[in-house]
Homo-oligomer: A and B are copies of this chain.
């Protein structure tokens, strides 16, 4: 059991950390906390044998388990780092296992679906479930890319529920802080709306745009003339297709809402091009550029912090 009162910086805070799903995110979380000395033991679990072998070989975990119940036995904290839709199935399985006093948390990109399933699957356990989401890129996946610095200076959003035990929340918060993350709390619905706008919709547009070219067999020709725009779009569209299918389905409502608002604005821009309304076009492009300048300041500030530490 966690005792915050006797917590010392260098002393182990928890006994056993279990990380289920050894991809980039799960692997980086496990590796960082194993190195931190904050956990007595870090156990990994993954359906893929190769990932389990690599996780031990690369020092990401102390050891791996194949059986879910065995892996979770005696756990203090269980981190769920599987794809968004697999999360639903996994929560169902965990509901049938005696998890003892363990704190459950996750890293899913969408929170409302995970919380919905958790509410359905758990009773008392819900108080010890802390939904979370580290906002880091995911183009390069896999345990091989695990990096204990991955979360450093990046946002991690926790979306505690009314029922969430403050002590459980504090433990998860502390683990992320140990990895250098900038932890913030948000309502579940707010999180899903913000992510739909900042991440899901741009990805949707990029996937759709690149496929729109590709399926007309024009892309192989087009790529030879690609400079700015297309290059950036294809980079965004190089993310894992399964992960993104899951995200679009799991965050259906917020994604559709964001898309429809955008489509309205896009239609206005289309009309401005059609009618030759240069003033309207200029004002849209100018505002967009000003927003970038504001954003650049945030990026510069972030780089400054990174160099400083």
Report the separation of the CA atoms of residues A269 and B198 in the bound assembly, to the nearest whole angstrom. Answer: 19
Check A237–B202 contact: CB distance below 8 A. Answer: no
Check B198–A225 contact: CB distance below 8 A. Answer: yes
Number of interface residues of A (CB under 8 A): 90
Check B274–A219 contact: CB distance below 8 A. Answer: no
Q: Is A135 at the interface (CB under 8 A from chain B)?
A: yes
With A214-B291, A215-B287 in contact, do A233 and B195 touch (Cβ < 8 Å)?
no
Most chain B beta-carbon neighbours within 10 Å: one of A201, A211, A229, A235: A229
Q: Which residues of B contact A234 (CB under 8 A)?
A: 288, 291-292, 295
The digit string for A160-188, where 1 denotes a CB below 8 A from any CB of B, is 00000000000000000000000000000
Question: Which residue in B194, B237, B281, B294 is a CB contact (below 8 Å) of A289?
Answer: B237
Report the separation of the CA atoms of residues A263 and B201 in the bound assembly, to the nearest whole angstrom. Answer: 14
A246 CB, min distance to chain B CBs, angstroms? 8
With A208-B284, A245-B278, A252-B273 in contact, do A199 and B213 touch (Cβ < 8 Å)?
no
Q: Which of A253-269 contact B (CB under 8 A)?
A: 255-256, 259, 261-263, 265-266, 269
Most chain B beta-carbon neighbours within 10 Å: one of A238, A245, A269, A282: A245
A248 CB, min distance to chain B CBs, angstroms? 5
Q: Is A9 at the interface (CB under 8 A from chain B)?
A: no
Report the separation of the CA atoms of residues A154 and B234 in the bound assembly, to the nearest whole angstrom. Answer: 19
Check A211–B135 contact: CB distance below 8 A. Answer: no
Query: How many chain copies does the complex carry?
Result: 2
The digit string for A201-212, where 1 denotes a CB below 8 A from any CB of B, is 111111111111
A217 CB, min distance to chain B CBs, angstroms? 11
Q: Is A304 at the interface (CB under 8 A from chain B)?
A: no
Question: Which residue in B209, B285, B294 is a CB contact (below 8 Å) of A244?
Answer: B285
Smallest Cβ-Cβ distance to A137: which chain B residue: B228
Report the separation of the CA atoms of residues A143 and B259 in the bound assembly, to the nearest whole angstrom. Answer: 39
Check B202–A262 contact: CB distance below 8 A. Answer: no
Smallest Cβ-Cβ distance to A269: which chain B residue: B208
Q: Is A300 at the interface (CB under 8 A from chain B)?
A: no
Q: Is A36 at the interface (CB under 8 A from chain B)?
A: no
The 20 listed contacts between A and B (C-beta, < 8 Å) are: A139-B228, A157-B225, A198-B229, A198-B230, A201-B229, A202-B230, A206-B232, A207-B288, A208-B262, A208-B265, A212-B266, A219-B295, A232-B236, A235-B292, A237-B291, A244-B285, A245-B281, A245-B282, A248-B273, A259-B273
4 cross-chain pairs, A with B, having the tightest CB-CB distances, nearest first: A202-B229, A241-B285, A210-B288, A238-B292
Other A-B contacts than A214-B291, A228-B239, 13 sampled, CB-CB below 8 A, are A157-B225, A198-B227, A206-B288, A208-B262, A212-B261, A215-B287, A223-B294, A223-B298, A228-B236, A238-B293, A241-B282, A241-B289, A252-B274
